[in-house]
Structure 1
Amino acid sequence: MSYILLLIGFMLLIKGADFFVDGASSMARALHVSPLLIGLTIVAFGTSSPEATVSIVAALQENAGVAIGNVVGSNIFNITFVVGIAAFITPLKVESETIRKEIPFTLLASISLLILISDVTLQTVSQNLITRSDGLIFLLFFAIFLYYIFEVARNSREKGKQDNTESEIVSWKKNIVLTIGGLAAIIFGGDLVVNNATTIAYSFGMSETLVGLTIVAVGTSLPELITSITAALKKESEIALGNIVGSNIFNILFVLGAASVISPLAVESKIYIDVILMIVLTGVLLVFSRTNFKIGKIEGIVLVLAYVLYMTYIFIRN
């Protein structure tokens, strides 16, 4: 029964995120909000809403391993498998200066996470925790990132007004229902995923962190995978890559920030290797994006193989 409920939870997360993005994007366009702002905020954050819900619910239920593992595992999955598949479908051109700045910001956020979970090494304490103060630091960084995004999008605001034609009819009731209904599905689906994934993990002798890094991480990253593959098929490189980079920043700064403010998160020693690997892979993505300013098919294959090797490693490690 846990497997069926887990599947239902994932379906609710994916469809809920889809409805939420559609409804919120339509209302934003009707209010003449820049398309660039919609893409960098609503789409990226909307596809990350399953991670946010799962980690926050896990924090409320004191499942710190699932909360942290979900974020780290999702980011590794996004950087390797999602970008790799998208790049294999069509080479991802990194033309936008915004993306070039966002990838180093992702690297900075990842390094900040490593520092903030290293309490035992850096301080005279007995346990590694992401405390409420650490969470507030993450949220402060997130506020700075949002300020930057709004500044970038401000210049496109007039263009957003011009693109909104008189013939476009906005159904406010429909979009409000889609947005609220999507959010409700995400919250309920997140609760189902955390409860049943944890049950399955215990039945197989898996740790909370491992199930967060694998089952939950892949499941909550499906919206990013679908969005980036669709964008790649439509030759929209900036959306395919921007969605991933924006989602990863959101995952670390907002998701872990909000979750740890709700309840301090105990950090398992095993997660350190995963966080370091996430930093290394983000650095690799930065190098790939700076090489001829594109991520080609060969780089895509390398990234996918890296994820396969990572999955093999963590199952052996467990």
Structure 2
Amino acid sequence: MANAALIAYSVASFICGLFVLEFGADKFIDHTAIVAERTGIPESVVGLLTAGAEWEELAVVVVCILRNRTSLAVGNIIGSAISNILGAFSLGLVFRRDEEIMVFDASARAYTLAMLLVTGLVVALQAFNPSRLSTVFGGILIAIFVLYVGSVAYLIFKGHLTAPESVSDSDSDSESDEESIHENFESSQVNSTTPLLATDGALPASRHKHSIPYHVAILLLGFLAILLSSFVLSNASSYIAEESGISEVLFGVVFLSIATTLPEKFIAVMSGSRNRTGILVANTVGSNIFLLTLCLGILWVSTAGDYNGDTVNVVEVGVLLGSSLFMTLVVWFGARFSRLAGVVMLAGYVAFLVLEFTTIGHS
């Protein structure tokens, strides 16, 4: 019999977590743009190493492993990767500014292509039956994650990445950091040729009152708020699922993945509405690479492919690969039709969720 008090407490925790999440996402977006402007580092790279790092998802996976709920973990990983594309990236496209056309620079295209290749590799390994060689396959995925982080750090150090956007100075002094960054959003210009580090060592003039360490500290505060809210949301959802008796894989693919990717959805809506395509792409690409390499790699190594119950099926894996391919095509060729593409992706996600309950199903 369901524990009504526990369900009520979990629902209340879920609602409180949403307020903390909104605060964290807002601070993260604003101060990421400021740090990117002040340092010359592309905001897409800052996003890859912060919002694109799914630490809350890793925490959920570790907890699931310790509690011997590995079917829930694999469902959450695959479901979250699908939700990041069809449920989060799509929202960023839908909520973009009407008067501006989204432009994805070379860095964004390279990141999405890398995500597609990683997704294809995971699908191939899954089809090859990871239960026999899951420890080896998991080690390969973890090694890819280390290589990915190292390559991003190397490109930052060498200055080979180009900034997806250059935020120009506002015409007048702002009264606060938030007002200043919003003015900069209004006057931002797309510039795909601006180098990561100026060759003469000079950085753009800034009108912000506070120093870079201050903005980095607020950025990290927002990021920590996102992590905290994600932990609360995932745990509250988990308790609700336990009391309702839903299949672990189904719950992981649908409910838990939606809860743990709420930060990505908030960030996608905010970055899309402010035309911050660098953060929008990095938010999705970085999250999925993190999920499909480090999180899935740790799960495969620790379980040796022996889940406590069911696992994801060919339809769910196919949706993951198809959505990754569609996102890559949008970033490479479909920026002009980005809002229409977002609507199509969002409708596809709703259809997928309906099919999970009516056709795909899990015992």
Give the TM bin, normalised by the shorter chain. 0.7 to 0.9
Q: Which residue of 1 aligns with 2:5?
A: none
The partner residue of 2:333 within 275, 291, 294 is 291
Q: Which residue of 1 aligns with 2:294?
A: 254
CA change 1:42–1:95 in 2 (3 A) is same
Structure 1: stretches of 5+ with no match in the other structure: none
SS in 2 for 1:162: coil
SS in 1 for 2:68: coil
**1:115-264 map, 5 Å:** 115-118=124-127, 121=129, 127=131, 130-131=134-135, 133-153=136-156, 154-155=159-160, 156-159=195-198, 162-163=203-204, 169-170=210-211, 179=220, 183=224, 192-193=232-233, 195-261=235-301, 264=304
- State whether structure 2 residue 116 is matched by structure 1 residue 107: yes
- Name the aligned partner's letter for residue 10 of structure 2: S
What CA distance in whole angstroms lies between the structure 2 residues aligned with 1:151 and 1:69? 33
What CA distance in whole angstroms lies between the structure 1 residues aligned with 2:16 and 2:306? 29
Give the deviation of 1:256 after TM superposition: 2.1
Give the structure with higher Rg (CA): 2
User: What do the CA deviations read for 1:229-270 (whole angstroms, capped 9, x no partner)?
Assistant: 111211222322332122211221122234444555545344
What CA distance in whole angstroms lies between the structure 1 residues aligned with 2:202 and 2:117? 34
CA contact (8 A) 1:55 1:259 kept: yes
Q: When the two structures are aligned, how many residues end up with a matched partner?
A: 309
What CA distance in whole angstroms lies between the structure 2 residues aligned with 1:209 and 1:162? 50
SS in 2 for 1:117: helix
- State whether structure 2 residue 123 is matched by structure 1 residue 84: no
Give the deviation of 1:304 after TM superposition: 0.9
- Name the aligned partner's letter for residue 234 of structure 1: R
CA change 1:198–1:68 in 2 (3 A) is same
The partner residue of 1:2 within 10, 26, 34 is 10
Give the deviation of 1:67 after TM superposition: 1.7
CA contact (8 A) 2:29 2:270 kept: no
Q: Which residue of 2 aligns with 1:279?
A: 321
Q: Which residue of 1 aligns with 2:345?
A: 303
**Aligned-pair identity (%):** 22
Q: Supply the RMSD in Å over aligned alpha carbons.
A: 3.7
Structure 2: stretches of 5+ with no match in the other structure: 1-8, 161-194
What CA distance in whole angstroms lies between the structure 2 residues aligned with 1:297 and 1:188? 31
Give the deviation of 1:104 after TM superposition: 2.0
Q: Which residue of 2 aligns with 1:98?
A: 107
What CA distance in whole angstroms lies between the structure 1 residues aligned with 2:44 and 2:223? 20
Q: Which has the higher helix share?
A: 1
- State whether structure 2 residue 96 is matched by structure 1 residue 56: no
CA change 1:115–1:52 in 2 (3 A) is same
User: What do the CA deviations read for 1:32-66 (whole angstroms, capped 9, x no partner)?
Assistant: 572447524334325x3322222232223222122
